[in-house]
Amino acid sequence: MASAERTRFTRKERSWILYDWANSVYATNIMAAIFPTIFVAFAGDQGDVWWGYGTSIATLIVALLAPVLGSVADYKGMKKKLFTSFMLLGVVFTASMAFTNDWRMMLVGYVISRIGFSGSNLFYDSFLTDVTTNERMDTVSSWGYAMGYIGGSTIPFVISIAGLLALGYSNPIAQKFSILIVPVWWLVFSIPFLKNVEQAHYIDKPARISIKGIFGNILETALDIARQKGLLLFIIAYFFYIDGVGTVISISTAYGTALGLGATGMILALLVTQIVAMPSSILFARMTKKISTRKALLVAITVYMFICFVGFVMGFTLEPHQFRYQDALDAKRVAVMRELDALAQDGEEEKEGAIDQYFQAASRAIMANDKKALLEIRLGLEDPASSRAEAALVSGLTVFMDDEKDVISSYQEAIRFSTMLFWFMAILVGTMQGGIQAVSRSYFGKLVPKKRSNEYFGFFDIFGKFAAVIGPLLYAVISNLTGRSSFGALGLLSLFLLGFIFLLIAKEPLNALEAERALARPNQE
């Protein structure tokens, strides 16, 4: 039966897919959701800063090494060795983070483990050309992302959260468990890959691997990419649209928080994104067979442009209510400060920052319509032993809520509408996120010569890593210049528009390159 007609995965394909299931737990527990909060708790006030430094260092090292590693990995027998080395590096140093309470050692473990994680993914991506055929690449690649979402991104993450909730987030046992489950899960489910996946396409290894030869190969690959118009245009398009995809993922909760949306609701919405992404990744691969891979990518980019527009509407309709509410709250804070200044002259003083903390807590309770929290705030300050200053704070809150009922009500209504849009966006992102990443990977795999796939994927990885800089910077600059986060979100649409345009004009060159690769036999590549 022809490979295009085959419906069941081969052992090599299943083993390759399972590695995404294996290592995705690192992305959720260590990179995104759990370990960052543990690290910041140990590191103190500058924890987030050191975390940013560590992430940047690890990303930069892998990005700079990617072409060199790719060049070496294309030699016979080297890809599997390098994959295994980086995978074990990630597993060992992830485990090491659970056996120290020194935040400096945690940071070292994180940086090295992230290098191992990212490095192993570079070789993992290029192994796609070794485990399947061009006709099945979209399907196999999409199933990899799908299993990653439902496996590593959901099951061990939920288990870790359950442990933290049951024992308490600050409980050392729960924290260590949420870290240790990562290397165990990662290593155990990597075994099929280590056992069954081998390098099928390679360049004969020279008697001596030289630095000159490695950089000669890198230069040759760069020139090859520049000479192949279709491949060059695709990489440029990928640079822009994948930057947009990554930025939407990374700034979504920060954007929602800036607008005043509830953290719990946003986290639940993002969990829904992960769940929706699993079947959507598979359906997206099927769509490529109906309308071609390039057209499917254009569809996904179009949906992302719509997502950016919805995100703009979400903020643009909410911000006027947010600004009015904040102005009213600030005015009341100033009034209370004046009253406290007068009381201070009578011998009563308030600690610096206490007023801001009080108003922040009260504001959160008001916007969440949390009457229990408001009651606790009031009771805490209406104790018989309370000072006149504390009584002034309670009075200020009460007057604010009575005088600004309409402002508060309109802001709460706007938050409800924007929260609904956030959920809508989360579902839309879930339908496209896994598919656009998986199909981009498999499409690139079809366009490059199989014997030098790792070297080409090294450049692919560089574009993916450095693309992650422009989007967040664009969002931050536009938001600062306009004073409105909604315009920052709208600015991201330009990244997808550029990706769309470059992919659109690449139609003929890409069709020619696809035909050329389809005719080439593996041993001639």
Mean predicted confidence (pLDDT) in 61-79: 82
pTM: 0.74
- Residue 456 pLDDT: 81
Domain positions in the chain: 10-196, 322-411
Contact 233, 503 (CB under 8 A): yes
Contact 74, 203 (CB under 8 A): yes
Q: What is the three-class DSSP state of 203?
A: strand
What sign results for the dihedral spanned by CA atoms 108, 109, 110, 111? Answer: positive
| pLDDT tens-digit series, residues 327-348 | 877 777 676 666 556 555 544 4
Q: 262 vs 221, which has greater pLDDT?
A: 221
| pLDDT tens-digit series, residues 141-186 | 889 888 888 776 678 888 888 888 888 877 889 889 999 999 999 9
- Amino acid (1-letter code) at residue 330: D
The C-alpha atoms of residue 245 and residue 32 are separated, in whole angstroms, by 16
Return left, alpha or beta for 520; rule: phi > 0 is left, psi -120 to 50 is alpha, else beta. Answer: beta
Which DSSP category does 1 fall into? -
CATH superfamily for 10-196 is MFS general substrate transporter like domains (1.20.1250.20)
